[in-house]
Amino acid sequence: MLSASRENLTVRLGYILRRFLFLVFVMWTAATVLFLIPRMSRVNPIRERFNALARSTGYAPKDLESIIASYELKFGLDKPLPQQYVDYMASVLRGDLGVSLMSYPKPVAELIGEALPWTIGLLGVTTVLTFLIGTVIGALAGWPRSPKWIKGMVPPLMILAAIPPVILALLLVYFIGFRLKLLPMGGAFSAGLTKEFSLPFILDVLSHAILPAFSLILGSAGFWALGMRGMGITIQGEDYVNFAEHKGLKPGRIFYWYYVRNAILPQVTSLALAFGGIISAGVLVESVYGFPGIGSTLSAAILANDYFVIYGIGYITVVAVAVSMLVVDLLYPLLDPRIRYDRK
């Protein structure tokens, strides 16, 4: 018994190690791709930046070429490619993703570091809430004993899900923020407040988060509900659910242990993917509400041709997806014993 469990432990540790190495591999690949793209494309980020500046301000520096040359020297772009690659990788390892052109000389990592907590706070929380609300409604809607009104909730949710979250966000801002003035129309906190860990500040942040959160929840709960209902209807016809009834179990027991526990498995994978995608998912909604998260940073960077920020956000998006997949791969065998650590 003891030796068996010890063996089990080695298998598990081996699996975790392998998955971890895979994560490192994904991060390295992503970094390499991000290294190669700007160097393979004809677009010179610095030149583009100055051109954009010239277009918007009408001011074109006379000695543009020499300015660009001096920037390239500063970023080491004059060195041979292998040397650049080694330097680049070393800086990525140090967490250095370059500097922003838009808010020079602020490092990209710092820019992301400021925006990320807001995005995780808003999108992380809404993703969990949406998952819970949608999954519960879907599970109940697929269960034959549920009252009719619960089954009736899925179609309206689907209609809401069919409306792009931006439109939903605009509607909510207009009616609740602008017309009824019930909630702030945008931003993450009221101007004049200092960022501090105090009750009034937290309440202020929450009141600002309600509308964006609602747009995100209303916009995607329907997908979770539909997925769970579909899976639930399949599971509810399974022999093991029938056999549970033959055993004389109470409906509540069957609902959770035989029905939900099995139907939820694919939802968990989707949840991990949704977590990985929160950065891209928030772009439009964050912009509508002027919410200072990664999404807003990204759209600002795109508008300003701030390539290094775009690359940096691209990089952490890949990392976020890879990390969520790692987490799900590690947790999944706990949820479904058929998936084992020692199998691919």
Binding site for other proteins (CB under 8 A): 144, 238-240, 242-250, 253, 257-258, 261-262, 265, 335-338
Q: Which DSSP state fits 120?
A: I
Which C-beta is closer to other proteins: that of 254 or that of 298? 254
Least spacing, CB of residue 248 vs other proteins, in Å: 4
Work out how close the CB of 147 gets to other proteins at its nearest, in angstroms, rounded to a whole number: 16
Nearest to 143 by CA among 9, 27, 234: 234
Backbone torsions φ then ψ of 99, nearest 5 degrees: -115, 155
Sequence-separated (6 or more) residues with CB below 8 Å from residue 44: 68
Q: Which is nearer to other proteins, 130 or 135 (CB)?
A: 135
The structure tokens 């409306």 sit at 163
The 8-class DSSP code of residue 99 comes to B
Q: How far is the CB of 264 from other proteins (least distance, A)?
A: 10
Map tokens 């500040």 to a residue: 201
Nearer CB in complex with other proteins: 4/180: 4
C-beta of 236 vs 287, nearer to other proteins = 236
Exposure string for 152-188, b = 16+ CB within 10 A, e = fewer: ebbeebeebbeeebeebbbebbeebbeeeeeebbbeb
User: Phi, psi (5° rounding) for residue 153?
Assistant: -80, -20
- Decide whether 9 or 36 has the Cβ nearer to other proteins: 9
Euclidean distance between CA atoms 267 and 137, whole angstroms: 13
Cβ proximity of 263 and 120 under 8 Å:
no
Closest distance of CB 344 from other proteins, Å:
16
Residue (47 or 340) nearer to other proteins, CB? 340
Q: At closest approach, how far in Å is the CB of 164 from other proteins?
A: 36
Q: How far is the CB of 238 from other proteins (least distance, A)?
A: 6
Closest contact distance (angstroms) between CB of 247 and other proteins is 4
Closest CA to 45 of 317, 319, 312: 312
Distance CA(74)–CA(68), nearest Å, equals 10
In the complex with other proteins, which residue's Cβ is closer, 46 or 244?
Answer: 244
